[in-house]
Amino acid sequence: MKFAIALFSAAHAPSSRRALLFAQAALAGGHEIVRLFFYQDGVYNASGALVTPQDELDLPKQWRTFIDEQKLDGVVCIAAALRRGALNAEEAKRYQRDAVSISAPWELSGLGQLHDAVQDADRLICFGGA
């Protein structure tokens, strides 16, 4: 079964952790994830600028490790990311900003990538809110 997983909440929201655990369980169950798409506040999960206290769950780091190890397609909506100050080197240069917080394996792209994933997958699962 092919899953598209979309995340709409910031890294500190319980739903973001739930998304990661669902994604891990899906792969462990022998399923495929065609794309992870990060929209709205979900873009913060891709931020390399978050500093988590040592004794707390570092979700952005876990996402990064998960995407790297499983060689997944992690796409961050570019418009949502720009609006929230989450930029990769290319966008920081384009808009003349000092701060770069998104880098590989994350990719910035448009909402077309969400639709593309929906077309490709058997199921779309969204996580967000609380």
Instruction: Decide: is 15 part of the binding site for another protein (CB under 8 A).
Output: yes
Please tell me the distance from the alpha carbon of residue 120 to that of residue 122, in angstroms, as a whole number.
7
Return all residues near 30 (Cβ < 8 A) that are at least 6 apart.
Answer: none
Instruction: Decide: is 25 part of the binding site for another protein (CB under 8 A).
Output: yes
Residue 34 and residue 72 in contact, taking contact as beta carbons nearer than 8 Å: no
The two structure tokens encoding residue 126:
């969204």
Catalytic residue ranges: 77
3-state secondary structure of 28: helix
Backbone angles phi, psi at 47, to 5 degrees: -80, 125
Please tell me the distance from the alpha carbon of residue 49 to that of residue 17, in angstroms, as a whole number.
18
Query: Least distance (Å) from another protein to the CB of residue 119?
Result: 6
CA 60 to chain CA centroid, Å, is 9
Per CB under 8 A, the segment of 22-30, 51-59, 67-75, 99-107 that binds another protein is 22-30
Instruction: Decide: is 127 part of the binding site for another protein (CB under 8 A).
Output: yes
- If the CB atoms of residues 12 and 18 are measured against another protein, the closer one turns out to be 18
Query: Least distance (Å) from another protein to the CB of residue 34?
Result: 12
Instruction: Decide: is 49 part of the binding site for another protein (CB under 8 A).
Output: no
Give residue 48's identity as a one-letter amino acid code: G
- If the CB atoms of residues 103 and 122 are measured against another protein, the closer one turns out to be 122
Q: Give the footprint of another protein on this chain (CB under 8 A).
A: 1, 3, 6, 8-9, 14-15, 18, 21-22, 24-26, 28-29, 31, 39-40, 79-80, 83, 110-112, 114-115, 118-119, 122-130
